[in-house]
Amino acid sequence: MGRRVLVTGGAGYIGSHACKLLAEAGHTPVTYDSLVTGWEQAVKFGPLEKGDLQDRARLDQVFATHRPDAVMHFAALSDVGQSMRDPALYWRNNVGGSMTLLDAATAAGVGAFVFSSTCATYGEQDGVMLDETCVQNPINAYGGSKRAVEDMLRDYGRQSGMRHVAFRYFNVAGADPERQIGEFHRPETHLIPLALDAVRGRRDALTIFGTDYATPDGTCIRDYVHVLDLVEAHVRGLDYLMNGGESAVFNLGTGTGFSVREVIDAVGAVTETPVPVVEGARRPGDCTALVSGSTRATEVLGWQPHRSTLPQMISDAWGWHQMPGYTA
């Protein structure tokens, strides 16, 4: 049976891919987005409702109009460096906005909530394959704000009965292979699209932030997951909740980490063009390594990352970057 799902941030990178997959699964995604960082042209799979997360009256209106069965919450600021420079912005937007959304969802009687969290809630835990039992100790305001929303979901659920799934995911990459939507931020901060922009001459060079980390080549290591694999887990999480599943937290990663230099080399191999790079200083708030050690999503949700190889993610992103009309 198709559900109506309110998708906050549905005009953004991950949210738009989630809307496509929800529609393909027979659901109706209703995008709620301020379009401050999202793109109206990415809303192709269901209705768009423009609004800010902190506008309770607007949220109440949207809940009353569409009567969603569930909420899928992606809307958030997510730049680690910015969160270090302006932590108040992250607490106001990510935490304050989520609280207003939870108030509106609870008042509307919504019983299922799927939340986009992050592995940044774990902080710096070098040498640890991270699973859901690891202590959360974020080292930046972005990770702190996401952990706070996880706490709110738990506490709201105790009071209202709303059940939730929180996905702590690692670095998201790739794009819709059908090239209807893809990754495009303003400003761009993600490694693979930055490298592709450098290959295309849209920027002079890619900056490597830090070459003295305690890793084999001195650069940060991250676990990358394809955006389509990621949003498939969200749809599975929705089905899990709608079928009576209890509140749960899941890591979403592949269990394999790649350094910044390894990603850059892979981009060069896929595009057959060397990536021009310059070396810069470390960025405050960046961890040395973040790699998932969890199998819980596979065991509980039956989730398997099918497209999350580095060549596939880069190839899909490269296809999107070469689309007519792509602008950086």
Element of type H or E holding 156: helix 141-160
136 shares its domain with 108:
yes
Give the CATH number, domain containing residue 274: 3.90.25.10
Burial category of 64 from C-beta neighbours within 10 Å (exposed 0-12, middle 13-18, buried 19 and up): exposed
Q: Is 142 a catalytic residue?
A: yes
**63 close to 108: Cβ distance less than 8 angstroms:** yes
- Confidence tier at 325 by pLDDT (50, 70, 90): low
Higher per-residue pLDDT: 83 or 279? 279
Gap between the Cα atoms of 55 and 77, Å rounded: 17
The domain in which residue 147 lies consists of 4-173+225-252
What is the number of structural domains in the chain? 2
Query: Does residue 184 fall inside a structural domain?
Result: no
Query: Does residue 180 fall inside a structural domain?
Result: no
| pLDDT value of position 311 | 96
Count of beta carbons in the 10 Å neighbourhood of residue 51: 17
95 shares its domain with 212:
no
90 shares its domain with 159:
yes
Is residue 33's pLDDT more than 80? yes
pTM of the model: 0.93
3-state secondary structure of 257: strand
**100 close to 56: Cβ distance less than 8 angstroms:** yes
| pLDDT value of position 129 | 84
299 shares its domain with 234:
no
216 shares its domain with 89:
no
With a pLDDT cut of 90, the percent of the chain lying above it is: 80
Is residue 66's pLDDT more than 60? yes
Give the CATH number, domain containing residue 68: 3.40.50.720
Query: Does residue 99 fall inside a structural domain?
Result: yes
Q: Which of 13, 32, 90, 142 is catalytic?
A: 142
211 shares its domain with 278:
yes
139 shares its domain with 248:
yes
- Torsion region of 38: left, alpha or beta (phi above 0 gives left; psi -120 to 50 gives alpha): beta
Number of helical (H) and strand (E) elements in the chain, helices listed first:
11, 13
Query: Does residue 328 fall inside a structural domain?
Result: no
214 shares its domain with 237:
no
39 shares its domain with 161:
yes
- Confidence tier at 326 by pLDDT (50, 70, 90): low
90 shares its domain with 150:
yes
97 shares its domain with 166:
yes
| pLDDT value of position 144 | 95
Per residue in 170-229, pLDDT (tens digit) is: 899 999 999 899 887 777 788 999 999 999 988 899 999 999 999 999 999 999 999 999
- Domain's final residue, options 252, 268, 297: 252
119 shares its domain with 204:
no
Query: Does residue 182 fall inside a structural domain?
Result: no
Q: CA angle at residue 313 from 304 to 3, to 5 degrees?
A: 50
Pair type for strands 221-226 and 171-173 = parallel
For residue 170, report the phi and psi dihedrals to the nearest 5 degrees. -95, -155
Query: Does residue 68 fall inside a structural domain?
Result: yes
State the average pLDDT over residues 107-116: 97
Query: Does residue 185 fall inside a structural domain?
Result: no
